[in-house]
Structure 1
Amino acid sequence: MIKKLFLLLLMIFVASCGSNQSVVRTSQPDPRKATTPVAQRVKKPIYRPNQPKKPEAVAQKTTTTIPNNSSSTEILEATTRVRVTTEMVLAYIDKYKAIAKENMEKTGIPASVTLGQAILESGAGTGPLSMQANNHFGIKCHKEWTGPSIRYTDDEENECFRKYDDPSGSFRDHSYFLTSRPRYASLFQLGKNDYAAWARGLKAAGYATDPKYPEKLIGLIERYQLAKYDAEVLGKDYVSMAVAKKEIVYAEEVERYTVVKGDTLYSLSKKFNISIEELKRKNNMNDNSLSLGQTIIVK
């Protein structure tokens, strides 16, 4: 009996020891988890040297870039208000000068006037009517027009304007418009090379409501030397207005002197109350030398 009791106690003791060791093993923390900081589990962004820049950075750079604009710009006002460069106007002239010269040969309307009006009224081809309807002169439908049209607000809202398949149709109708209306008949009594008279005559006949229309038209013709196309059609030599005005001034105000023995630039400057440098400038002289019989401008 005593032996059985002893064995029972021994078995209970062994069982309790095994149970304590099991609890120790299962409660022991995982050494890998204990040594791994939580921060290292956060995924860091990967840096790629060839990765494109963010859109914000690109946008910021482009906004600070200075555009390479043309050195010469102007604002044209007629059917619409646009800003064009000299290069754009010259390209427009080169594109349509042949049509303007051909119309001059057929109708007598100076090519310079046709080109000048086209540049002014179409914004050198950049205005909405010219871009959308190939209408370079702002020609309205009128009751006789049966072709395609476009609505555009000009003097009044949603007015009807002619639409062309090609700009040449617009140039043709412009010439027909001037030759077929009785109110423009007086224009054809003017010289074909007198663009200034034509510009003022157009305004007087009611072509444009802008009081400055003649000045704008004349300014374009002279600035881009459009009168040379009139001269080509008429078979005449072209003289720019700048040169012509200079010759007129010389004819009215220039005084000349013939050099005699003993004359020097200094003596002539004293005689005619003019500086030596001004004498040289007026006569395109590079030095102070004079020749007997030489004619020079002294006023």
Structure 2
Amino acid sequence: MKSLKYILVCCLAGMALSLGADQRKNKAYEDYIRQYHKIAVEEMKRYHIPASITLAQGLLESGAGRSELARKSNNHFGIKCGRSWDGRTVRADDDAPNECFRAYRHAKDSYRDHSKFLRTGARYAFLFRLKITDYKGWARGLKKAGYATDPRYADRLINIIELYDLDRYDTKKGLEWIEEFPNPHQPYLANDMVYIIARRGDTFEKLSDELGISKKKLRTYNELPKDYQFMGGEIVYLEKKHRRATKEYIVYVVRQGDSMYSISQKFGIRLKNLYKLNKMEPDSPAPKVGDILRLR
């Protein structure tokens, strides 16, 4: 006589075989996708990382936002501290006991840091030569670059993307954006902030449409007047500048052609704070070549 346990297992197996694809989907995953897909699309527009990849990594790394690291520290991508990180940290067991992980105030901060982590990591540079719709290439490339130690990491990402149709965010919204802006501005990073280099003929309106940032914010972030006309070559920040430079830039020796404004843009410092750091006023004489300015 077969055991009750055996019969139960057989029944459950039969039920599983009868389930359709939609029924195999995890509600927690679907809730996570609804909550974060807009952020993933915005990150794609700004950093050129497929939204499908970002969402799949967030789902996999955070257990759809239910992992302790995600719940308590808003770290959705399992990014460890690294030498350059000077923000909040938390300790957790991973490949080794008591490893250091980054901690964030909000989940959106984790998404932004994930984008910066990939965009500025030398070992991930080859990924940005792939099409933004090539999620399989991205998944395999992430594994090749060593993002995770799991030998099936790429397959897991691809399976998640295909089961939940995440590539629709690379095409339905993302592809429309790509078609409208076939030659988007390349994002760069300075002082832990993203920026682009303006081209001749750029306007606040054109940049606003491409980057999804209001004209007012672009002018405010870069301390520029409404009637400013881009000549090409200007640094344009996509987020508010900091009060001081990063730790590796303590002072700066003024060079030919420098101005207080150009220096503030170069190091991502608000102009008023650069004046304050150097005990200067906006109407003070311009710094001379060879002068040493404090950056923090």
- Structure 2 unaligned regions, length at least 5: 1-19, 178-296
Distance between the aligned counterparts of 2:175 and 2:152, measured in 1?
A: 31
Distance between the aligned counterparts of 2:48 and 2:98, measured in 1?
A: 34
Find the residue that maps to 1:146 and give its secondary structure.
coil
- Superposed, 1:62-211 pairs within 5 Å as 86-211=26-151
Q: What is the match of residue 171 of structure 2?
A: 231
The one-character-per-residue Cα deviations of 1:50-83 (angstroms, maximum 9, x if unpaired) are xxxxxxxxxxxxxxxxxxxxx99999xxxxxxxx
Distance between the aligned counterparts of 2:64 and 2:104, measured in 1?
A: 17
Equivalent residue letter for 1:138: G
Find the residue that maps to 1:150 and give its secondary structure.
strand
The one-character-per-residue Cα deviations of 1:233-255 (angstroms, maximum 9, x if unpaired) are 33459xxxxxxxxxxxxxxxxxx
Q: What is the match of residue 35 of structure 1?
A: none
Distance between the aligned counterparts of 1:188 and 1:137, measured in 2?
A: 19
Distance between the aligned counterparts of 1:191 and 1:73, measured in 2?
A: 29
Q: What is the match of residue 290 of structure 1?
A: none
Q: CA deviation at 1:142?
A: 1.1
Find the residue that maps to 2:60 and give its secondary structure.
helix
The one-character-per-residue Cα deviations of 1:148-175 (angstroms, maximum 9, x if unpaired) are 1111011111111111110011111111
Identity percentage over the alignment? 49
Structure in which a larger fraction of residues adopt helix: 1
- Give the TM-score taking structure 1 as reference length: 0.50
The number of equivalent residue pairs is 159
Report the CA distance shift for 1:72/1:197 in structure 2 as closer, same or farther (over 3 A). closer
Question: CA-atom RMSD, angstroms?
Answer: 2.5
Distance between the aligned counterparts of 1:160 and 1:91, measured in 2?
A: 29
Distance between the aligned counterparts of 1:88 and 1:133, measured in 2?
A: 19
- Structure 1 unaligned regions, length at least 5: 1-70, 76-85, 238-299
Q: What is the match of residue 242 of structure 1?
A: none
Q: CA deviation at 1:207?
A: 1.0
